[in-house]
Amino acid sequence: MRKPVIAIDGYSSTGKSSISKIIAEKLGLFHMDTGALYRGVTYFALTNCLNENSEINLADLFQKLDHINLEFRNFNSELVLFLNGNNVSMEIRSNAVAANVSLIACQKEVRDFLLNIQREIAQQGGVILDGRDIGTVVLPNADYKFFLTASIDERTRRRFLELQSLGIESDEQEVRENLVHRDKIDSERTVAPLRQAEDAILIDNTNLSKMETIALILSHIQDI
C-alpha cells in the first residue's frame, strides 16, 4: 500500500522541522526539511555570489544555480544537508543565512529550481515535507496538510534557545526582529507566499510542547 504524503507548513520557529522528523520516524516516512534547501542556496549565495558591497548578487546567483547540488544524506543516523558534497548542516543555521534566506526564497528562479527536487522525492509517497508553501504550491494534492503557528514571543524564545544550543551568539531582540521581518517578507511575497491552505488543519502550539503538538497531528492521521 502506498504510504501517505504529508505537508506541514507554518511560521519560523514553530518546530516544523523537528516535529516532522519525529513524525517521520514514528510512521516510517522520509522527512525532507525544505527550509534547509533554501538555506543551502542562501549559503551558496553568501559564499559565491557577493558584489563589491558584500551583498548578494541575485543575477550572479541565477546564473550559477546549475552549479548547486543539494542532497540529504544519512549522517550519524540523521538526515543532513550536503551542498556540493560538503556537510553544511551547521553553516545554514547561522545568523547571516537567517537574515538573507527570505530574500532568496522569494525569487522565482530559486523556487522553480527547488520545486522539481521536492516533487521528485514526494512522487512515490511515504514522505513528509515541511516549509511555507508545501500544501499550497509544492504538493497541493498531499494526503494530509497541517499549518503551524505560535505567538511571536514564544517563537522568539524557541529560536533564541536553538541558537544558544548550537553555540551561535545572538541577541534576543535581534532574533525577534529577524522573525518579524521574515514573517512580513514570506507572507507578502508575490511568489508562493506563506499562507494556510484551505484544506490544511491549523495548529497553534504556543502553549503546546513538542510532543503534545506531535500527538495532536498524529490524531488527525488515519489508516497508516
Q: Indicate whether 223 belongs to any domain.
A: no
Domain count, the chain: 1
Which amino acid type is present at position 99? A
Q: Indicate whether 224 belongs to any domain.
A: no
Q: Indicate whether 88 belongs to any domain.
A: yes
The DSSP letter of residue 138 is I
Could you identify the residue written with the cell 516532522?
Answer: 20
Closest Cα partner for 68 from 87, 40, 103, 29? 40
Residue 76's pLDDT is 65
Residue 196's pLDDT is 95
As a whole number of angstroms, the distance between CA 85 and CA 92 comes to: 15
Angle at 41 between CA 35 and CA 45, to 5 degrees: 140
Q: Indicate whether 97 belongs to any domain.
A: yes
Domain that holds residue 90: 5-218
**CATH code at position 25:** 3.40.50.300
Q: Are 217 and 203 in contact (CB under 8 A)?
A: yes
Please give the sequence-ordered ranges of beta strands (E in DSSP) within 28-137, or none if there are none: 30-33, 70-75, 78-83, 86-87, 127-131
Q: Indicate whether 100 belongs to any domain.
A: yes
Q: Are 152 and 204 in contact (CB under 8 A)?
A: no
Q: Indicate whether 212 belongs to any domain.
A: yes
Residue 189's pLDDT is 83
Could you identify the residue written with the cell 511568489?
Answer: 191
Helices within 106-171 (DSSP H only): 108-122, 152-165
Spans of the chain, pLDDT less than 70: 76-78, 222-224
CA-based end-to-end distance of the chain: 10
Q: Indicate whether 96 belongs to any domain.
A: yes
Cell numbers representing residue 67 in the block: 552549479
Q: Indicate whether 187 belongs to any domain.
A: yes
Q: What is the dihedral of CA 188, 192, 197, 203, to 10 degrees?
A: -60
Helices within the chain (DSSP H only): 16-27, 34-48, 58-63, 95-105, 108-122, 152-165, 172-188, 210-220
Question: What does the pLDDT look like over 152-187, one tens digit per residue?
Answer: 999 999 999 999 998 888 899 999 999 999 899 889
Q: Is the pTM of this model over 0.85?
A: no
Residue 224's pLDDT is 47
